[in-house]
Amino acid sequence: MRSVKICLVGFGNVGQALARLIERKREAIEQQRQICLKITAIATRTHGYCMKYDGVDLSSALSKIHENRSLNELNDSPVPCSTLELISRCDADVLLENTPVDYFSGQPAIDHIATAIRAGMHAITANKGAVLHGYQQLSAIAEEKGKRFLFESAVMDGAPIFSLFRQVLPTIELHGFEGILNSCTNLLLERMEMGDGFDQAVEYARSIGITETDPSGDIDGWDAAIKVAILVNVLMKFPIKLDDVERRGIREIELEEIRKLQTEGRRWKLICRAWRDANSVKASVAPEIVTPQSPFFSVNGTSSSIIFKTDCLPGLGILESNPGPETTAYGLLADILSIYAKNND
């Protein structure tokens, strides 16, 4: 059985969900894949660092976080002084990078990932900023080092978008897509339909943990726009920047307007689009009024949905219902298992 050592950078909701998922799936992974997954290093922003070469006791690590205590207490070697030091010293096989997103630079996640790949690790992330701003650079470093750089959870949590095109749809040409890619704004609009004021809806979303660290990233369309830009860069193979996505969020939508639309059987949705235009690709994020005839009318709560327009499959859709940290964690786990599938390194 092959042992795979994991360095986990970021141990918030997603990182903790991943630790629990690995424990829950351990027997199935070992029996079906002949792989033993060991988290041997954890770096956090507020709870310290730990490295144990024979594997961190995940129950103890989760308890430390729950008790608001430091992971430093779990070390069996000198405590690292920084995340980059931990990555360089941990001798892991895979880095899982889950630090908070920076929409405009992708840092420090890009440096974390680059350091890991140069140290001989595969790298997996759910960090959208790192994928958009570092995709070309990190892919090149990974190719040079013979490693993989994967990011299934960067868009639509654990739904198989990138692996779908990479593994299942050979030679297909993607002409464009449309969808709801920010589950937070979808919930906010629904809560306002239920009578919440805007601030009250935001507070509810924050209380259940689905807003970005800064809720304005959701409200003003940055989260949706960066996902659109990633899909265009990776799947449509056209280089665009975040500023190239025409962006308008939901901040200006009034409660009275939502109520009026309800009486007419219509509703607001924040719709993401990209389409080929001559020799370029155009992209946008903006609120749109939809009717029951729209495929997005009944996408409720924290659900998200996307429809791809391709040369062979003109309307291929994916619907993800009410995702959370567990679904993002599954996307990370799926990437690990993809790397260590048969015939792969």
Average pLDDT, the chain: 94
Residue 291 lies in a domain: yes
| DSSP assignment string, 249-291 | -STT--HHHHHHHHHTT-EEEEEEEEEEETTEEEEEEEEEEE-
Same domain, 152 and 267: no
Confidence tier at 215 by pLDDT (50, 70, 90): confident
Pairing state between β 267-277 and 174-180: antiparallel
Residue 344 lies in a domain: no
Same domain, 49 and 15: yes
Residue 257 lies in a domain: yes
Residue 36 lies in a domain: yes
Please give the pLDDT value at position 342.
65
Percent of the chain with pLDDT over 70: 98
Confidence tier at 141 by pLDDT (50, 70, 90): very high
| Helix extents (H) in the chain | 13-33, 58-66, 83-89, 109-118, 128-145, 162-163, 183-193, 198-207, 216-219, 222-234, 255-263, 325-339
End-to-end CA distance of the chain: 14
Residue 181 lies in a domain: yes
> What's the total number of domains in the chain?
2
pLDDT(209) > 90: no
Expressed as residue numbers, the domain containing 258 is: 167-322
Calculate ∠ Cα 183-184-187, nearest 5°. 85
Same domain, 172 and 152: no
Contact 181, 227 (CB under 8 A): yes
The mean pLDDT of 133-155, rounded to a whole number, is 97
Structure tokens at 257: 């307007």
Please give the pLDDT value at position 343.
52
Structure tokens at 231: 């899909």
Report which residue type is found at 306: I
Same domain, 141 and 187: no
Burial of 111 (0-12, 13-18, 19+ CB in 10 A): middle
CATH code where residue 11 lies = 3.40.50.720
Percent of the chain with pLDDT over 90: 89
Report which residue type is found at 6: I
CATH code where residue 253 lies = 3.30.360.10
Residue 345 lies in a domain: no
**Eight-class DSSP state of 305:** E
Same domain, 138 and 174: no
Same domain, 58 and 175: no
pLDDT(264) > 70: yes
Please give the pLDDT value at position 206.
87
pLDDT(297) > 70: yes
Same domain, 15 and 139: yes
